[in-house]
Structure 1
Amino acid sequence: MITPDYSTEAAPQTRERLIQTMIHLLQTRGLHGAGLSELLALAQAPKGVLYHHFPGGKTALAVAAVEATISWSCNKLDEYLGSGNDVGQALGSWIERAQRGLHGSGFERGCPLAAVALESTAADTELRAALAAGFQAIRARLAQALERNGRTPAAAQGLAALIVATYEGGLLQARVANDTAPMAQATAALLALLKEKEPK
């Protein structure tokens, strides 16, 4: 199993270690597989520190992990999309990075957002609210870029939703297959669609 390494002098502060460790466990174990004792051991943090930073315990930490993942994803998208970059090319690079990360982890590290979404229930209102807001933020960035590339607002929003669904679904299929082919195939079909001109 791939584990975080906090042995260097540049190790992050305790709160950040807890968040990064939770992200790691969500990627590899899922929400319910992330045991509190293991999380604290990996983060090199005593139990009291968890509740000091996250009074809501594991759920509050999971919400922080979701928000941190969304923030990172949005920043990455901003890098790839820029102000005038071709959306298809930018998305190809974004998805290729995800494929490399999945392959490099031995198909162990999936998307923490998908893990939480799949395991959450109607009672997990905070988690679902964080996920909903996060996915909306990603879709909004994609839609804005698509509009800059000439799509109408309605078409841009629809394509943005399709892109997120393709990314998450492709990553999930690739992980369980131990093969990036399903994600690559879905990406190729998506990029071909993006090259088509919008019907008048």
Structure 2
Amino acid sequence: MSWADRILDDGTDRDRWLRSRLPVIGASDAAKLSKPESVDKYLAAKLAPRTFYGNAATESGHRWEPMMLAWAGIPENKALIHSPAEKGFAATPDGAGETVGAECKAKHGRVVAGPSLGEFRQLAWQFVCVPEFESIEFIWVELIDGDIRPGLNGEPKSLTVTRDHEKIRELTPLILPIATDLLARLRAALEFKKELAL
């Protein structure tokens, strides 16, 4: 069995993908999971009506993402993939080969050395959901006025993150209990909402 056998939604329809993502803990949710005592806050954010559908920065990210993946030679991915152990844990890596994933970021007006703490949580979650990944290529472009900043020869930067990276080993056992609690509460809340609608 490969990750391709665990696709919850193929991502070809954005609205359907968003509906598929509501009852699961995704990588962007996991990026925020830092405090066990804040599960109620994470649940409220998860259940809040979605009002943000992107801005100029996210549009820029969508524009640059295929170029970053092509540069790295990693196939683009839109599919929502669940963990082998728990269907409620899922992720949509930007790129997905058989054993290599990719996460792409557009950094506007910033010079960075690699993933932020939240982005490392996101990567740790992708390893949970897609254990077939031996590594994830974290790829970013540093942009000034919409173009790659001078001095980079028009190329992105990248960092290969393996599952034994110290930040992945540190963050995974911290995220999992919070995510487990959050998922249980999310399922109870969605079930209650369904009963109210009857």
TM over 0.5: no
More helix by share: 1
Structure of greater Rg: 1
Q: How high is the TM-score relative to the length of structure 1? A: 0.29
TM-score, normalization by structure 2 = 0.29
